[in-house]
Chains A and B, each alone.
Chain A
Amino acid sequence: MNTREKFSAILLILGLILALLPLSANRILTMKPKKLLTEVLDEKTYLTVDQVARFIISEDNSVQLIDLRSPDEFSSFNIPGSINVPYYEFLDNDQDRVLNNGKTMNIFYSNGDFDSNYALVIARGLNYKKTYAMKGGLNEWFNTVMNSRFTGDRITARENSLFETRTRAKNLFTEINSLPDSLKLKFIESKRVAAKKLDGGCE
């Protein structure tokens, strides 16, 4: 057998092996299980509603909120600036596109804790490092931010700052979600254009 025949035989055998492997279209978590477990047990993968509130009032473009609820729930109300990827469709979508190729900080949320944390594990298992879950979901958002009230006579500087953040986030949430759908889109677009003007570049 000459060199060319040997080389052809090797390629043919490798091709057969690859053909018999499970389809690559089915996503598989690429991170090792123990490493993934260590990552998801890290407290830093959780974000509190107060941390998310700070992001939305600062209109930080490096942060992307991902609402995992159904489209109907999303259209009723959502945290301003969110995109909607229903949890049951998360693995059907192109994760690179949804998670911005890992360039943005992606924060999952749902009504509670289940869906956002399932999605978090899947995303981290696919090696998207900058993914987080909002602890408590929208139920916690409403309990803490939307129903935030100041009681008592005195307030520390820290409490004042927290209350102010919550109030601003609550007002923004209410304003945006009270708009008719057509105006919601216009508002979001105007914010996007304003952010681009600050950053520079063409529209």
Chain B
Amino acid sequence: MDLINKYKVIIAIVLPILILILFRTCGANNFKSDAKKWAEPSFSKSNIVSGEQIRTMSGEKLIVNLGNEVSGIIGKATEEVYISPDSVLSKKYLNKIKDHEGPVLLFSPDLALSARIWMIISQMGCKNIYILTYNSDNEVFKNEFRPDTNAGPEF
């Protein structure tokens, strides 16, 4: 007690700062440090799965359907929940995603939406999150560009 009294000024200044820093750093509902580490699966595209690939995944799958379109995935060891995109970070749904032990598959006909939600959830430290798509070659260029050697802009 004498010690606390002796250093009360130091404790009074340092303790609130320490609590604030710990809260900011370790808060469960904040983004994790090292954004690159949590974005890593997106660099290698290992976060994208097709309907066929789901069959080879172990564990009970949770399909998070972000739209109204049916995912078409049925089978044992598969649970599907419909979540409006703006509610995906609500405590109820975020805990469901975080606490789920098997793979979590985000599904939406809008791949841009799935990509955005995936990045946000992953940056919050959730692992085992995938984007379910029937268009797994979305980032493959599907057209052909033929240069026109007769064309020439003015300089």
Contacts and interface: CB of A to CB of B under 8 A. Distances in A.
B109 to A, nearest CB: 11
Contact of A14 (B9, B17, B153): B17
B10 interface: yes
B139 to A, nearest CB: 4
Interface in B72-111: 85-86, 88-89, 111
Contact of B140 (A14, A30, A112, A122): A112
Contact of A118 (B18, B34, B115, B142): B115
A135 B139 contact: no
Given A10-B14, A27-B34, A33-B29, A113 B153 contact: no
A33 B33 CA distance: 13
A26 B34 contact: yes
A128 interface: no
A73 B36 CA distance: 23
Given A175-B153, A178-B149, A114 B13 contact: no
Contacts of A1: 6-7
B42 to A, nearest CB: 5
Main secondary structure of the interface of A (DSSP, over half): helix
Contacts of B127: none
Q: Which of B31, B112, B140 gathers the greatest number of chain A CB atoms within 10 Å?
A: B112
A33 B124 contact: yes
A21 B34 CA distance: 12
A91 B35 contact: yes
Interface of A: 1, 6, 9-10, 13-14, 17, 21-23, 26-30, 32-34, 36-38, 40-41, 46, 73, 76-77, 87-88, 91-92, 110-118, 120-122, 125, 133, 135, 137-139, 142-143, 146-147, 171-172, 174-179, 186-187, 190
Given A33-B89, A114-B45, A172-B153, 7 more contacts: A40-B116, A92-B36, A111-B141, A111-B142, A113-B115, A122-B119, A178-B152
14 contacts: A21-B25, A37-B85, A87-B42, A88-B43, A91-B35, A111-B141, A113-B111, A114-B115, A115-B139, A117-B119, A118-B115, A125-B123, A171-B151, A178-B148
